[in-house]
Every structure is written in structure tokens, then in C-alpha cells.
Amino acid sequence: MKRSWILLAVLALASCRGGEGTVNGKAAAENAVAFADFLSISGDTVRSFSSWQDKRSQSETYHLVPRDCTGILASDPMAIGVPVRSVICMSTTYLPHIKLLGLADIVKGVSGTRFIYDSLYSAMAEEGLIADVGAETSPDYEKILFLDCDLVLSYGISGSDNSYIDKLRALGRKVIVINDYLEPTVLGKLEYIKLFGSLLGKREVADSIFLAKKNEYEAAKSCCHGVPKTEVLVNLPFKGIWYVPGKESYMAELVRNAGGEILGAEEGENLSSQKSFEQMYSLASKADVWIHLNQAVRTSDVASENAMFRQIPAYKEGKLYNNNRRVTAAGGSDYWESGALYPDEILKDMIQIFHPEIAEKYFPGRELVYYIRLDD
């Protein structure tokens, strides 16, 4: 009799673990993640890598188990019951993935609901269907416990207080750390749809979405093959420092694939470098286009930052574009909320800005989605 109980326990454990090479109990291809640097998915095992803990590379490993395996879920803080049926999002950037998988109603809490751009989620927040759980530096733990969701989707930032993650786990909440914002490549960011698919029981759908969007992005990219490079000035200085994306960064890749080149971008860097006002003002004379201008909606907003900007050729020629077409009254930006999931739209916007003749040939009549052209 005793041996029978042991056999039953072993079989139950095996069914909960799902078996090597499976995702949610289904066969999964090896190397499921091909482009992301900070994520791996192998069968029912997910690893999230980071570069913000102790300023060196770290990782966390999560085990996806059937949600009815209560014993494992209770004893292993890194075990996540799937499919997940309710979530709290500590970033609005997770919302588009969940919505695209057809499960918007599982979102019960968001950090900073006033920053949500998506109209569906905004309406849900206004109706009280989504609670504001506070900022990651000072979350409303009582509210998070009251919501009693299956999973908290979180992230950590270098130099910030990320202790809320450990505290939530100490309080018995399941937490996964998602570091998609660290990814230096367009397809690397896009590939996180596979993580959401694995968590929500929609992996096949997620794979199809990834492939379709990858193809759309690469088709738009091919339109600019061999075109002369447009010199692009990026950002406005902040407290005298001009931050310029490195040549190996996500932003530089987008600009490059749209037939542009960022002025002042450092070779081999995926992080932004700090340039002096004088360095960038000198380079600005070469700029064909100027993008990402803080909150500016008019050219006069740029000039109000510094009257010397009026002398920059791109300013004189009216070639100033900002990525704030879709923003909330509180300052939430859909460019950052959904842009990583729609890189083809960002790329097409950039092509229209850098090479309008190419855009007119390949997608005539299209209007800018995320960008606006500044005027007076």
C-alpha cells in the first residue's frame, strides 16, 4: 500500500512538472527564444536575465506548472501556475501583449493607471475593473494582497530600489521579473510575446504573432536597402548633457533600418553616451532630421529650450519630429507602451520621416502613427 502511494506521488509530480521539452504540457521547439538576450524559454523552464542587480549579470529561473499542482506552487516560490488567469502589471508595457492574446480582462491591477494609453484598459480602470497598485518604489501592498492575483509582472532598474520584488514574494505573491526594456534589438523586444504566450496558455498564438510581426518588420526594412543614409539628430539636452543612443542600441537599429544614422552614436555601445552641448551642437549642423524632442509639440517649444537651436538647419527647414502623437494627459506614451510590439509601424514612421519618397512608393497615403511633425 505504501509503495502505491509513493508511485502515485511520483506520477503526480511528473504531471505537474510537464516534462522536459514541453510548454504548458505541449511539445516545444528547442531554442524557443532566438533573438532576446535577457530571456530564455526551454520547455517549462523560463529564465530571466538582468544586468541591474549588483551591476553584474544575474538570472532567475521559473518553473511553469499546471495551476492545479497546489503542492508545488505552495512550496516553490519560483513555480508559476499556468495558464495564468489574473495578473498585476507593474508596467503598462505588458498590457499590449496581454490584449493581443485576447485576454485583456485578466488584468486586475496596474502601476500608474493614469499613464495607460490604451482606451480599453483606460475604460476598465475608470470603471474600477483595474486597480492602481502604486509605483514600484512604493507599491500598495495591501491592495496587491487584496486583489489576490495569480502573478505580478514586474521589472527592476539599476540604481533603483527593487526590494519590492522580494517583499511581494515574502508576502506570498508570485512574481516574475521581465527585463524586455534591456533588450538592444528590435526582434529581441518583440520576442517577449512568446513569454506571455507561455504564461497565459497561448503559446501557439504568440508564436504566430511573433512570426507575422517579424515578417512585417523585415518587409518594411527591405524597402530601404541601399538608400543614402539620412543624418539624424536625436534628443534634446537634459541639464546640459546630451544623451545619445549607442550604435548597438534598440533605437539605433530602428534608425539604421529606416535608412538613417544617429549623429554622435558610439561604436559598439548599446547604452546611451553622454555628450556635451558643444559636441552635439557642432554635429547638429550635419543633421537632415531631428527627432525625439521631449514633450515639444511646436517648433517654438524647442527654441524655448535654447535660442541657439533656431540656427540648426533641421530646425530652419522644419524637419523636426517627435514621438508623442499618442500620449495621455498625465504624460503616458503609447510609443513606449505598445511600440515594442509594433516595430513595423515605428519603422514605417521613420521611413516616412527620413525617406518620404520611399514611403510614397511602398506604402502610399499612410499617415504617421507614433510621430508628429512639429510646426508653429
- CA 207 – CA 195 distance, rounded (Å): 10
- CA 38 – CA 343 distance, rounded (Å): 19
Grid cell listed for 236: 534634446
CB 206 within 8 A of CB 198: yes
Write the CB contacts of 356 (distance below 8 Å, at least 6 apart in sequence). none
In this prediction, residue 162 carries a pLDDT of 77
In this prediction, residue 29 carries a pLDDT of 46
Of the chain, the end-to-end C-alpha distance in Å amounts to 85
Are 17-217 and 226-373 in the same CATH fold?
yes
CATH code reported for the domain at 17-217 = 3.40.50.1980
**Residue that has been written with the C-alpha cell 559636441 in this structure:** 279
In this prediction, residue 6 carries a pLDDT of 35
Domain 226-373 matching CATH 3.40.50.1820: the answer reads: no
Which amino acid is it at 340?
Answer: A
* Ranges of each domain in the chain: 17-217, 226-373
- CA 169 – CA 175 distance, rounded (Å): 7
In this prediction, residue 161 carries a pLDDT of 64
Grid cell listed for 271: 547604452
- CA 358 – CA 368 distance, rounded (Å): 14
Q: Global pTM?
A: 0.91
Describe the crossing of helices 343-354 and 203-222 by its angle, rounded to 10 degrees.
10
Grid cell listed for 218: 523585415
In this prediction, residue 12 carries a pLDDT of 44
**Cα distances (angstroms) measured from residue 87 to each of 38, 113, 166, 195, 277:** 22, 14, 17, 14, 44
What averages of pLDDT result for each successive group of 10 residues across the chain (376 residues)? Answer: 38 49 45 91 94 62 96 96 98 98 98 97 98 92 98 81 88 96 96 98 98 98 96 95 97 98 96 95 97 96 96 97 96 97 98 98 97 95
